[in-house]
Amino acid sequence: MYRNEYEHFIPKIYLAPIYDLLYVSNVCIDISKKLIFESGNITIYENERQKKIEDLLQKIKLKIDENIKK
């Protein structure tokens, strides 16, 4: 007999260390940069807008790096 895992609610907890979450966030930002700026799939016509996006991603990455070092 097979039992549906979701038939009866059993609380589950998934844990991840903060360091791992910060590391994964950095990886996501790097992937986002490649998809937005290098893939050629997205065209940003305004250089000013592209610069703002790049700056924002860089600021986020720096904040994450600061927290990783703590």
pTM above 0.75?
A: no
First vs last C-alpha separation in the chain:
50
Does 44 map to a domain? Answer: yes
Taking only the tens place, the pLDDT of each residue in 25-69 is 999 999 999 998 888 888 888 888 889 999 999 999 999 999 888
pLDDT value at residue 58: 94
Does 1 map to a domain? Answer: no
Domain count, the chain: 1
pLDDT value at residue 9: 66
Does 8 map to a domain? Answer: no
Domain that holds residue 52: 18-69
